[in-house]
Each structure stands twice: as structure tokens, then as C-alpha cells.
Amino acid sequence: MESSERDLWRRRTVTRDGVQLAVFEAGDTDAPTVVLVHGWPDTHHLWTHVAPILARRYHVVAYDTRGYGESDAPSGDAPYRLAELAADLFAVIDAVSDVPAHVVAHDWGSVQTWEAVTTAGADDRIASFVSVSGPNLDHLGTWAREKLARPTPTALRQALSQIASSAYTVMFQLPVVPKVFFGALGWAPVWRQFLHRVEGTAPGDVAVGPTLHHDMISGLRYYRANIRAHLFSPDARSTTVPTLEIVNTRDIALRSAIFDNTPRYTDGLWRRDLPTGHWLPYSRPELLAENAVDFIESIISGEPSATVARARVTGDTRGAVEGTLSVVTGGGSGIGRETALLLAAEGGEVVIADIDLGAAQKTADEITGSGGTARAYALDVADSDAFARFAATVAETHGVPDIVVNNAGIGLAGALLDATDAQIRRLVDINLVSVATGSREFGRLMVARGLGGQIVNLASAAAFTPQRGLGAYAATKAGVLLLSESLRAELAEHHIGVSAICPGIVDTNIISATEFAGATGDNQERLRDRMNGMYRRRGFTPDRVAVEILDAITRNRAVVPVTIEASVGYRVYRFLPALSRRMARTSLF
């Protein structure tokens, strides 16, 4: 044990049915108690970087589960069944706290805590549960049986993906092979290198105990004692303990889909999907501690923070953007409005910005009237300083958004030679500069947070279909397209996706506000009416664009031509540019 760890922990022993468990305490014993439960092949050392953060405000307790570290290791597999491990957890809680404790658990620590919280009377000992990288095996068994019983392409893909990710557990349950494998090497440096490769951890991030080699072999009994029994004959039980499920979307062992049926078995479930790997206590200890504190304090106070409120799961099915925060500019009408409505319907909280506050508020009211969460703000996206203040306000009031949709835009038609400097500057400021501003301001916040995200920028089919009478407008949208492609490359290392949406002819109210360069009075209205009529006859509504935007968010698509004319135009411009230029000579109005 390192000297810093010795300074942190106070050691004691808790005995249950003759098995001695090594228990380690830190922090003020009068504070609420948080019990930390490790998994394979770790010991209480897993919490080396998390425990000091939690100990600033809680009485923190970690223990080596039976078979690991300084705790006893009974012979055979039967002593390692989940019921025994859950009873150990209850014994530790009873020994260290007179009131129900909060539990944060990882990997097999989470698996055994799931067994505990689904045991009758768990509420008397456990006040809340933060589950990290460890499913309830009975829930998982039920999930797998249902997927294989109704093998739709999606269900089969999810099941096979999880089977492939869990293939190592088959080897772990063999009687001799894993012992030979784990007995062949000095594992501490190998284990650190493995975690560096799959998690990006530095050598100092991984605090292994001196018993690592023994623990790797001893811990195999957890697999042999439990996996086949619970997966092949699941007994899925429910819990009333408030539970936060942290789902690591880059987990090498567990696919996110296996947690989708958890709402069936929990009266109070919160879920946060993080773009992180399996060993979160090593790779991002401050992030894990932050989420744990946020949840525990929300449970203690009964007043959830904005982040916790978004993470609440309210139904048996999970929306495509459940628990996320989105910002949509130009959300008072058209594509922006329909996108905001769809994101809210899919479980997200939405911040709606528009130069017309009344229109933004109307969209927000429709969302809240349907049980969603939304807030409206007035914003002139052409005012870069105001945009920066808006981004700061959103981050301070609601949190850093997970999704940003830079949708606000205007049109300008007519010959470029007839356009004024003022018209072109306004067009560029709103259509291009504001997109750069929104991407920059929110992108910086996303990078600093370190949890990825998605930026969606509204370009147009005009970005790749040169057209007589739309040159200035097309130039701004081409700028948005190339800006988005370049920004996507810049932000990839931060796991922030950038999508450019390129609709064709869509029936929105943008035409009613479009200026025709060189036209005045009645002629201006006549041209607008003609163009409006063409867009209405096309009949492609903005809600259909919103569906494509949602798909771009969930699949991190780079360039999304919307409508058949956009798809055709995209390919013609790429493969037959001369034809594209010839087609541009045809006037639309």
C-alpha cells in the first residue's frame, strides 16, 4: 500500500459467518456513509483516486470482497454465490453505519450490489445505488432470452454483439485453463499496460494491490459460481432503491443495449450514458465522483440537480436522446421548431433560441404541455457577443449541452450583381458566421467537459448544387458544409461529432422572409409568392428534416443530403461536375 493510501484509510475487520472482510474507512464518521464495492480483479485499491474526493464530504467505506486482497478466501465456488456476496455487503453496512448507506459499485461489485438491492428489505440498509459497468445478471439473462426469442435484425445484432464482448467469460469458467493463463506472468505491469491500451490510463492511474496475481485467479470463482445459473435460469426481481446506472458507451465488455430493460425492475431509475470505458474509476475518477456526489446529494435533499433531473428514466422504453440537453437555434419555426419537438419527444431537455422570443416560447410551451422540459431564449445569432453570453448562460443555468443544432438562417435570392453589401453581410453573418460562433462557443464547453457531444449545422443542397439566382446563399451554405467537415476532423479526438444537414426544397417559412436582390415593392412579393408556391407544391415538410437530424445525431453522420433532389445533386456535383454547372444555368424564378 502506498503511503498516500495508508494516510487515507483506517483499517478494521468485519466478520460474517466466519469470513473476515478487510474494511477501510476514510472521512468524517458523522457524515453520510458511502460504501464502495470493487470488481474483478481489483481490491479496495480501485478507489484510490475516487475515495479522497468523496471523503471531503462523506464517511467513505471500501472493503476487499471475499476472495480478494486482505479478506478471507473460502475454498470452493459455493461461498461466492451472489446471495453470499450480498449478505457480506449488508454486514459491512450494518457495521459501519446506523442508517442506510449509499453504495457506489463497479464491475462485479455492481453485480453483487444488484443482488443486494433486489433483496427484500434492502431499503433498510441501502439509501441509493450508483452502478458502474456491472449489470444485474438476472436482468441480463432475461434480456438475452427475449432478444433470441424474437430475433429481429436489431435484436440479433445486439445479442451477438454482447456475446462476442463476453466471450472471455467462457474461458474464465473453465477449470484449469484460466489458472494456467493467469499463473504464467507477473501481472502488475501487464495489467497496467492492458488498461493503458484499452482505457488510455497512465501507469500512475492504476493502483493495483500486492495481491493482484492471487486475486485474478481467486476472483474466477465469481464467474463459475454465478454466470451460468443466473443467465440460463434468470430470476429477475425488482428494487425500490433509487439507482443511478452509469453506462459507459465505450465499454469493451458490456454493450449499452443490455441495460435497456432495467426500467422494468426499478421504481426509481436514473441513467447516464458516458463516452468512457469500463474502468471509469481509473480513467476518470473525478467524473465518477462528480456523478456520484450529484446523485447522492439529490437523493439526500430530495431536490435533484438539473443533471440528475435529466437522467431520470420515466418509462419502460428509452428515447433516442433520453437524458440529454440540446440547444436549437431558430427553434421558433420551421426545421428548428420540428427538431426541438422531436428531441423533446425522444426524452431530451431542449433550450430553444430564436430572434422572435414569442415564437420560441410557443415551441417551448408545446413541449412542456406534453410533459417535456424546454426553455426559450431570445437570441440574434448574428450578434456574436450575444451568442457568447447565451452559451455561457446555458452552461451556467442548464449545464453543458450534449447536442447543439445551429439551425437559424435566412435566404437571399436574385442575381449576385444586384445584391447590396448590406444584404450580403447580413446573409453571411446569420448563415455562416453564426454557425461558426455557435460551434466554437459550445464546442469549447464540450471539449472542456470531456464527455463528447454532437454539433449539427444546417447547410443546404445549395452547398453543392450551384444555381443561378442563389449564388450568395449557396456560398454561405457551402461554407457551412466545409466548416462542418473541417470541424468534424478537429473535434474527433474529443469524441464530438459534427454533422452537416443539407435539405433540398422544404416547405418552411424561410421563403416569406427571403429578399430578392434588385426587386422592390410588388415585384418582391410576386417573386416570393412564386417561390413559396413551388416549395408548397414540393410538399416536403420540416418534420421530415427533423427525423434526418435525429438520425444524424444518433449515428454521427457527417453529411446528410435530405430530399431526393439533394441526394441526386450531391452525387451529380461529386461525379459529374460539368453537368452540375450546366444545370445551374436554369433559373428557378
Give which of 366, 460, 351 is closest to 409, Cα–Cα: 460
What value, to the nearest 5°, has the Cα angle with vertex 296 and ends 292 and 300?
170
- 570 catalytic per annotation: no
Give which of 319, 225, 222, 313 is closest to 268, Cα–Cα: 313
> Amino acid letter at 131?
S
Q: Are 66 and 73 in contact (CB under 8 A)?
A: yes
Number of other residues whose CB lies within 10 A of the CB of residue 235? 11
Place of cell 466554437: 440
Q: How far apart are CA 117 and CA 167, in angstroms?
A: 27
Give which of 295, 303, 324 is closest to 130, Cα–Cα: 295
Cell of 136: 444485474
C-alpha R_g of the chain: 28
Q: Are 360 and 382 in contact (CB under 8 A)?
A: no
Q: How far apart are CA 498 and CA 486, in angstroms?
A: 9
Report H helices in 212-333. 212-218, 220-232, 280-283, 285-301, 306-311
Partner residues linked to 515 by β-bridges: 412
DSSP result, 533-573: HHHHHH---HHHHHHHHHHHHHHT-SEEEESHHHHHHHHHH
Number of other residues whose CB lies within 10 A of the CB of residue 75? 7
Report H helices in 346-420. 357-369, 384-397
Phi, psi values for residue 164, rounded to 5°:
-65, -40
What DSSP element (H or E) covers 447? helix 434-449
Of the residues 222, 265, 473, 573, only one is catalytic, namely 473
Cα four-point dihedral sign 510, 511, 517, 523 = negative
Q: Are 349 and 400 in contact (CB under 8 A)?
A: no
Q: How far apart are CA 363 and CA 367, in angstroms?
A: 6
Report the catalytic residues: 473
